[in-house]
């Protein structure tokens, strides 16, 4: 039975990488193994201060792919790995595959009448290739297009506004716990995605369907 003290959840926002696709970290590790260190790509974008700043600037649309790739190649070089800048993002994400079970879940929810949106931090010009996002979602919000990225509260507010719902009416599905925590600070419910079966069960409980 639904708890009457909790707001009714009536819409769902989905992340892209690691939710509609296989895991981003696993793809990075696969690329790292080609360089002799499976942890290096994540270290470059998540621990290296210059790498982190480059990633933030790219995800917020302040630098384009070519500038980002050149900067990343310099940071890989600083860690002892010489990699060509051109095509670097494509190589880093080469291990990603569509997660058909989660894609089916998105389509099922939408066919049942639930408003469904995408909120994604972009990574390169081609990261959404092969996905017809306007066909899949009622609203699409990409970080580089709005100038802010998760976990910024404004990113969630914009995505909810485009979907026509308030944050407290919305469930966020993301594979990163920090993004779910940020959504929670706006009153959104959250599901840390690991697989489609678990996510569907949690959404069923939250949406009450």
Q: Average pLDDT of 182-202?
A: 98
Look at residue 4 in the predicted model and tell me its pLDDT: 47
**Do 75 and 101 fall into the same domain?**
no
Residue 144 in this model has a pLDDT that exceeds 70 = yes
pTM above 0.85, yes or no: yes
Count structural domains, the chain: 2
Domain of 180 in residue numbering reads as 11-23+97-207
Counting beta carbons within 10 angstroms of the beta carbon of residue 113, is it exposed (0 to 12), middle (13 to 18) or buried (19 or more)? exposed
**Do 108 and 195 fall into the same domain?**
yes
**Do 203 and 180 fall into the same domain?**
yes
Q: What is the pLDDT of residues 40-57, one digit of tens each?
A: 999 999 999 999 999 999
Look at residue 156 in the predicted model and tell me its pLDDT: 99
**Do 35 and 16 fall into the same domain?**
no
Evaluate whether residue 193 is within a structural domain.
yes
Evaluate whether residue 49 is within a structural domain.
yes
**Do 109 and 129 fall into the same domain?**
yes
Look at residue 132 in the predicted model and tell me its pLDDT: 96
Last residue of a domain, one of 92, 110, 139: 92
**Do 142 and 103 fall into the same domain?**
yes
> Which H or E element spans position 67?
helix 65-78
**Do 79 and 135 fall into the same domain?**
no
Evaluate whether residue 3 is within a structural domain.
no
- Say how far apart CA 139 and CA 3 lie, in whole Å: 28
Evaluate whether residue 161 is within a structural domain.
yes
**Do 192 and 102 fall into the same domain?**
yes
Evaluate whether residue 59 is within a structural domain.
yes
**Do 16 and 28 fall into the same domain?**
no
Look at residue 15 in the predicted model and tell me its pLDDT: 99
For residue 27, give both structure tokens: 């793809």
Return phi, psi of residue 189, to 5°: -80, 160
Q: What is the pLDDT of residues 154-181, one digit of tens each?
A: 999 999 999 999 999 999 999 999 999 9
Q: Where are the beta strands (DSSP E) in 121-188?
A: 139-142, 170-174
Output the domain CATH number for residue 106.
3.40.50.1000
């Amino acid at each position: 039975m639904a708890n009457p003290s909790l707001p009714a959840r009536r819409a769902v926002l989905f992340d892209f990488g690691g939710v509609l696709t296989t895991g981003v970290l696993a793809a990075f590790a696969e690329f790292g193994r080609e360089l002799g260190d499976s942890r290096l790509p994540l270290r470059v974008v998540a621990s290296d201060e210059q790498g982190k700043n480059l990633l933030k600037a790219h995800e917020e649309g302040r630098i384009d792919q070519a500038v980002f790739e050149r900067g990343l190649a310099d940071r890989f070089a600083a860690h002892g790995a010489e990699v060509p800048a051109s095509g670097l993002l494509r190589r880093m994400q080469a291990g990603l595959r569509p997660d058909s079970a989660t894609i089916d879940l998105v389509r099922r929810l939408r066919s049942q009448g639930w408003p469904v949106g995408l909120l994604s931090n972009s990574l390169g010009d081609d990261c959404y290739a092969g996905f017809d996002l306007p066909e899949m979602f009622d609203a699409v919000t990409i970080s580089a297009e709005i100038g802010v990225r998760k976990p910024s509260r404004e990113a969630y507010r914009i995505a909810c506004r485009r979907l026509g719902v308030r944050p407290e009416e919305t469930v966020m599905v993301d594979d990163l716990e920090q993004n779910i925590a940020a959504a929670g600070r706006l009153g959104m419910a959250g599901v840390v995605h690991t697989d489609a079966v678990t996510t569907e069960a949690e959404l069923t409980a939250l949406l009450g369907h």
